């Protein structure tokens, strides 16, 4: 049986949503061989989070307590782990693909002389060999990598594996460690809010989001007019629309944009790549309008409208005006 350690991220006293998805990564690894998994949380006050994660996952969870100054500090985390791994051998170490982990895991892999694969989006079994896939070339190509090392460290893209169901176990199993960090070549000063203000999206009850399927910049007005039909609504969009300047970056939803939870999310001409859907998957009710019935958005939407968005929305607006008269 292979040993696996999940590194659980947290922010402002809450476990990151993407950390739960690491459990689905373990399921993907287990298609080849049974996996014995433990989780680890590092924080100045790790116990409440360790209890919460252990209750959700049913996994034994190690609460590593570190000084306040170690928060967001790669070198401190690195020394904490090197010390801990001494007594906890593993085949896989899995973490979310965050700025810190994308720095931490490669650094650890150098110390451990282990393989490190970052930004993994899928794991496939090919002729009895596990392949780890990730996007390259800005998402135009998919690279498949194979690990030739006894230990493999990997970071996982948020949204790529989906959130698993809660375990039936309810008694938390936690064990505690305290680690003093000595190695320090840089100092963590403070955590600041991002300059991108996504508050309009976070507060909206209804979000109408536009994708490349709207075809022309002028159609952003159409999307805005449609959004105006709803109270407390906002216009959002996919990353390509922000990249070409049709929308502002504070309107982008997805792994590199905002995470939103409106009551209603209407996706207009958006394909539904996980990099987008990861940011809206917790929406209450989802409507997708797409002329391609095979669009991935149709897999997760509550209502799928197989229409040309550029003619469907004017029809809805026209009908609405008629009924209001
Ligand atoms: C590291 C990384 C991070 C990323 N982060 C994000 C992110 O945060 N947010 C994000 O959105 N993307 C992100 N992306 C990009 C993501 O992978 C997709 O490329 C992007 O979401 C696609 O946008 P889209 O659906 O608007 O365009 P497309 O993929 O081009 O899809 C357009 C859709 O519109 C449909 N369509 C076309 N014409 C019409 C019409 N007239 N009527 C109805 N439907 C029509 C098509 O069938 C298609 O499904 C990221 C990519 C990478 C590699």
Alpha carbon of 306 to ligand 1 centroid (Å): 17
Alpha carbon of 152 to ligand 1 centroid (Å): 31
Q: Of all helices (H) and strands (E), which one includes residue 265?
A: strand 264-268
Residue 310 and residue 237: Cα distance in Å, rounded? 15
Alpha carbon of 274 to ligand 1 centroid (Å): 9
Residue that wins the pLDDT comparison between 74 and 322: 322
Alpha carbon of 220 to ligand 1 centroid (Å): 15
Residue 291 and residue 269: Cα distance in Å, rounded? 8
Helix, strand or coil, per DSSP, at residue 50? helix
* 300 contact partners, CB below 8 Å, separation of at least 6: 272, 277, 281, 286, 288
Domains 2-178 and 199-324 share a fold: yes
Q: Which two tokens stand for residue 136?
A: 């390259």
Which ligand 1 atom is nearest residue 212's CA? 26
Query: Tens digit of pLDDT for each residue in 185-232?
Result: 777 777 776 666 677 898 999 999 999 999 999 999 999 999 999 999
Q: Identify the architecture of domain 199-324 in CATH.
A: 3-Layer(aba) Sandwich (3.40)
Residue that wins the pLDDT comparison between 24 and 140: 24
How large is the average pLDDT for residues 84-100? Answer: 86
Q: Identify the architecture of domain 2-178 in CATH.
A: 3-Layer(aba) Sandwich (3.40)
Q: Mean pLDDT score of the chain, rounded to an integer?
A: 90
Q: Which two tokens stand for residue 302?
A: 């509550």
Query: Tens digit of pLDDT for each residue in 25-54?
Result: 999 999 988 999 999 999 889 999 999 999
Say if residue 152's pLDDT is above 90: yes
Query: Tens digit of pLDDT for each residue in 258-272?
Result: 989 999 999 999 999
Q: Which two tokens stand for residue 122?
A: 């899928």
Q: Is 216 in the pocket of ligand 1 (CB under 6 A)?
A: no
Residue 141's pLDDT band (cuts 50, 70, 90): confident
| Residue to probe by mutation, ligand 1, list 137, 212, 278, 292, most atoms within 8 Å of CB | 212
Helix, strand or coil, per DSSP, at residue 95? strand
Q: Is 269 in the pocket of ligand 1 (CB under 6 A)?
A: yes
Nearest CA to ligand 1 atom 49: 271
Q: Which two tokens stand for residue 108?
A: 């650890």
Domain ranges, ordered by start, for the chain: 2-178, 199-324
């Amino acid at each position: 049986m292979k040993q696996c350690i999940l590194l659980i991220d947290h922010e402002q006293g809450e476990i990151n949503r993407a950390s739960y998805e690491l459990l689905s990564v373990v399921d993907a690894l287990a298609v080849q061989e049974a996996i014995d998994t433990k989780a680890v949380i590092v924080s100045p006050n790790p116990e409440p989070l360790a209890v919460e994660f252990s209750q959700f996952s049913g996994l034994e969870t190690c609460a590593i307590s570190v000084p306040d100054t170690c928060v967001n500090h790669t070198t401190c985390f690195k020394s904490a782990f090197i010390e801990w791994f001494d007594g906890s051998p593993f085949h896989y170490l899995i973490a979310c693909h965050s700025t810190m982990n994308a720095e931490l895991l490669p650094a650890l892999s150098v110390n451990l002389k282990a393989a490190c694969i970052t930004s993994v989006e899928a794991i496939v079994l090919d002729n009895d060999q596990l392949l780890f896939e990730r996007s390259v070339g800005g998402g135009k190509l998919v690279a498949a990598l194979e690990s030739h090392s006894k230990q493999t460290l990997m970071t996982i893209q948020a949204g790529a594996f989906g959130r698993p169901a809660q375990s039936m176990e309810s008694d938390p199993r936690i064990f505690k460690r305290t680690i003093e960090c000595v190695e320090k070549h840089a100092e963590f000063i403070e955590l600041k809010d991002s300059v991108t203000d996504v508050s309009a999206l976070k507060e909206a009850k209804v979000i109408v989001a536009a994708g490349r399927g709207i075809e022309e910049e002028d159609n952003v007005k159409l999307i805005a007019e449609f959004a105006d039909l709803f109270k407390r609504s906002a216009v959002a969009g996919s990353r390509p629309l922000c990249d070409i300047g049709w929308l502002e970056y504070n309107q982008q939803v997805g792994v590199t944009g905002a995470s939103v939870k409106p009551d209603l999310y209407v996706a207009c001409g958006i394909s539904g790549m996980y990099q987008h859907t990861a940011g809206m998957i917790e929406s209450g009710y989802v409507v997708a309008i797409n002329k391609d019935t095979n669009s991935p958005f149709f897999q997760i939407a509550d209502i799928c409208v197989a229409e040309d968005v550029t003619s469907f929305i004017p029809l809805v607006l026209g009908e609405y005006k008629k009924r209001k008269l």
